[in-house]
Amino acid sequence: MKWYFVVLIITAALIVISLAAGTRMFFNFAVVSDNSKKKEKRKNCWDEDENLPGDVRMMPSCIPYADELLEGRRHVKSHTLTAHEVTSYDGLRLRAKYLDADGERRGIVLMMHGFRSSPLHDFSLAINIYHDLGFGCFMPYQRAHGDSEGKYLYYGVRERYDVLSWCRYIEEEFPGTPVILDGISMGASTVMMALGLDLPDCVKGAVADCGYTTPKEEFIYVLKKHYGIKPFPFLYTSGLLSKIAAGFSFTAASTKEALASNRLPILIAHGGDDSLVPHYMSEENYEVAKKSCDAEFLSVQGAEHGLSFLVDRKRYTEAVKRLIDKCIK
């Protein structure tokens, strides 16, 4: 019988080791930022962002639009931009670039980019659209991205307060200027979560493109869809590690809870072929939002994650213009 107990102990040990290794791997991928993994932090991320994060030609969904996206980046960088900085509620230095409007400024769009991305990567073409419509474009690096400080990603849980900080900063620096929030992917969920806060009066509306509902629900979907992994026990051990190491609970904030109290007009957009954040999450967000505010849902069939504007820019631009008309009289 001794061999039986030896095998049992070895098997149990291997299970524990595998679970611990997988937990750590998921935590490092999902929560620990690229910035903290680099021995030397990049000094000027904006100048390097023409081909960051990664050349878009290496991203299959972006291949049909690669030249246009890269040209959009170069066009934005050909303008004179100013640097701005705020300190977050928990002591991080957050940095942004600002492109002012040509001529009379109708308002400012605060653009929140997505997971492990950058303003130029996610908004290179949208920046030019907003600019043509008379808006200044305020482009922060989210905490733990690019030029901003931070070690961990919080999927909107803490980033929503960074949106609040930037809105207060814009209100002070550009008094009387209307502000529209615009977020994509993690940035969209960040924006929607921020709508549940006491935002300054200058904030008039929001655009949320392909946002999830909660970090936990997004993790469950990705693990099942892309890795065939059930959430128990893996997600729960990762959640425990996240709470201990980063002070981050996967259930600490919900877009639907925030939208239930929101009164500002919102445009919620999502690509019908999104394989990263499921389309139904935006449907759920919209169903909640329309009960409390003027909400519009734009579904773009054939669009992968974050590509709705590129697939159907006519409908997308028209929807954005409708939002602007609701927000700025």
How far, in Å, CA of 293 to CA of 261, rounded?
9
How far, in Å, CA of 57 to CA of 65, rounded?
9
Rounded mean pLDDT, 255-270: 98
Q: Which residues of 194-215 are buried (b: 16+ CB within 10 A; e: fewer)?
A: bbbeebeebbbbbbbbbbbbbb
How far, in Å, CA of 35 to CA of 118, rounded?
13
Write out the DSSP string of 252-264. S--HHHHHTT--S
Q: Check whether 38 has a pLDDT greater than 70.
A: no
Contacts of 4 (CB under 8 A, 6+ apart): none
Q: What are phi and psi of 300, to 5 degrees?
A: -115, 105
More confident residue, 37 or 50: 37
At 17, the pLDDT band (50, 70, 90 cuts) reads confident
Dump pLDDT digits (tens) for 63-113.
Answer: 788 888 888 888 888 899 999 999 999 999 999 999 999 989 999 999 999
Q: Check whether 312 has a pLDDT greater than 80.
A: yes
Dump pLDDT digits (tens) for 209-252.
Answer: 999 999 999 999 999 998 888 888 888 899 999 999 999 999 99
Rounded mean pLDDT, 184-209: 98
Dump pLDDT digits (tens) for 210-221.
Answer: 999 999 999 999
At 150, the pLDDT band (50, 70, 90 cuts) reads very high
H or E element at residue 107: strand 107-112
At 53, the pLDDT band (50, 70, 90 cuts) reads very low
How far, in Å, CA of 34 to CA of 41, rounded?
9
Q: Domain spanning 31-214+253-327: which superfamily?
A: Alpha/Beta hydrolase fold, catalytic domain (3.40.50.1820)
